[in-house]
């Protein structure tokens, strides 16, 4: 069914993975685009960090396709996926840390 | 044309009838900077300006003055609510409008008189002497309502920025 897919998946698994990956790519890419427009409006560090985090999510989906099609070896896949989890967590935590307590005069 | 001026002009083209504060907030530019570029665009004849009840609305070219007034009112929440109710259920009474929109009768009456002055709606009375609101040009009003309704992508970006602003507080809006 998918002559190009790597040898670690059966045909049924591959079709399910393709569906999940397409949905993930559409979802994360939409979020990333919304983030980009938001960043263009505000141009602040917080928006920059959140948008990069959303961009990393898009990369995860693309690497997923790469692995399924046999371009990205499994160890690299795991390294990238878990590395990007770490990156997303760090970016959002840093944005939260930078935001600090509200300082409202008066 | 400078980048900022192009952005301001583009925003007005995609949001006809946008008012000054909204423009400044959406584009996150300084008030003075916005005033300067709007003045230059106006002088160059690239936009039309409508002053209505203390607010200034900006339009790209191509709208006649009735359309401009209608769009300007469609950008105000209560006036827009009255128009939407009157499109669904022709000739609502002031009491029905107040109930439907959950605002005071006096608020309805103020907005209805604005709509009447702008020739968007007119008042008529039933045999009990109660006043009803009737749109002067319902079909054209409906078309303009569709035109100014924010697109799905606009609404998503607005909600996303609200979410981030709320989560991260002031630092989200401070450079």
ipTM of this complex prediction, to 2 decimal places = 0.81
pLDDT digits (tens, 9 = 90+) for A51-105: 999 999 999 999 999 998 889 999 999 999 999 999 999 999 999 988 766 555 4
Judged by a CB distance cut-off of 8 A, whether residue A95 touches chain B is yes
Query: Any residues with CB less than 8 A from the CB of B91 and at least 6 apart, and which?
Result: B124, B132, B133, B134
pLDDT at A101: 66
Q: Closest to B171 (Cβ–Cβ): which among A37, A38, A98?
A: A98
- For CATH 1.10.10.10, the residue range(s) in chain B are 1-62, 71-143
pLDDT score for B117: 94
How far is the C-alpha of A60 from the C-alpha of A53, rounded, in Å? Answer: 11
CB contact under 8 A, B28 and A46: no
What's the CA gap between B23 and B14, in Å, rounded? 11
* Residues B71-143, CATH architecture: Orthogonal Bundle (1.10)
Exposure class string for B29-66: b at 16+ Cβ within 10 A, else e: beeeebebbbeebeeeebbbebebeeeebbbbeebeeb
Is some CB atom of chain B closer than 8 A to the CB atom of A45? yes
Domain boundaries, chain A: 30-98
Q: Pick from B85, B71, B62: which is nearest to B133 by CA?
A: B85
Please give the CATH topology (third level) of the domain spanning B1-62: Arc Repressor Mutant, subunit A (1.10.10)
Greatest mean pLDDT among A15-29, A35-49, B25-39: A15-29
Residue A10 in contact with partner chain B when CB distance is under 8 A:
no
Tell me: the pLDDT tens digits for B79-135? Answer: 999 999 999 988 999 999 999 998 888 888 889 999 999 999 999 998 988 999 999
């Amino acid at each position: 069914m998918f002559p190009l897919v790597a040898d670690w998946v059966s045909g049924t698994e591959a079709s399910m993975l393709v569906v999940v990956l397409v949905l993930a790519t559409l979802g994360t890419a939409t979020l990333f685009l919304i983030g980009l427009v938001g960043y263009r409006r505000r141009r602040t560090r917080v928006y920059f960090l959140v948008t990069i985090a959303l961009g990393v999510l898009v990369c995860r989906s693309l690497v997923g396709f790469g692995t399924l099609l046999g371009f990205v070896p499994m160890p690299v896949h795991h390294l990238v996926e878990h590395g990007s989890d770490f990156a997303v967590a760090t970016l959002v935590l840093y944005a939260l840390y930078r935001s600090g307590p509200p300082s409202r005069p008066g | 044309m400078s980048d900022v001026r192009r952005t301001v002009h583009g925003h007005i083209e995609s949001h006809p009838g946008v008012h000054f504060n909204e423009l400044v907030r959406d584009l996150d530019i300084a008030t003075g900077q916005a005033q300067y570029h709007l003045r230059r665009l106006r002088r160059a004849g690239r936009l039309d300006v409508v002053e209505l009840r203390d607010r200034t609305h900006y339009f790209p070219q191509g709208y006649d003055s009735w359309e401009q007034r209608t769009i300007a009112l469609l950008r105000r929440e209560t006036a827009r609510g009255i128009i939407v109710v009157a499109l669904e259920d022709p000739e609502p009474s002031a009491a029905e409008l107040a109930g439907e929109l959950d605002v005071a009768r006096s608020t309805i009456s103020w907005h209805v008189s604005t709509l009447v002055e702008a020739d968007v709606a007119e008042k008529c009375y039933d045999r009990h002497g109660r006043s009803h609101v009737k749109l002067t040009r319902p079909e054209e009003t409906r078309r303009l309502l569709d035109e100014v309704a924010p697109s799905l992508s606009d609404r998503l970006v607005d909600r996303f920025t609200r979410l981030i602003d709320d989560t991260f507080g002031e630092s989200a809006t401070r450079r």
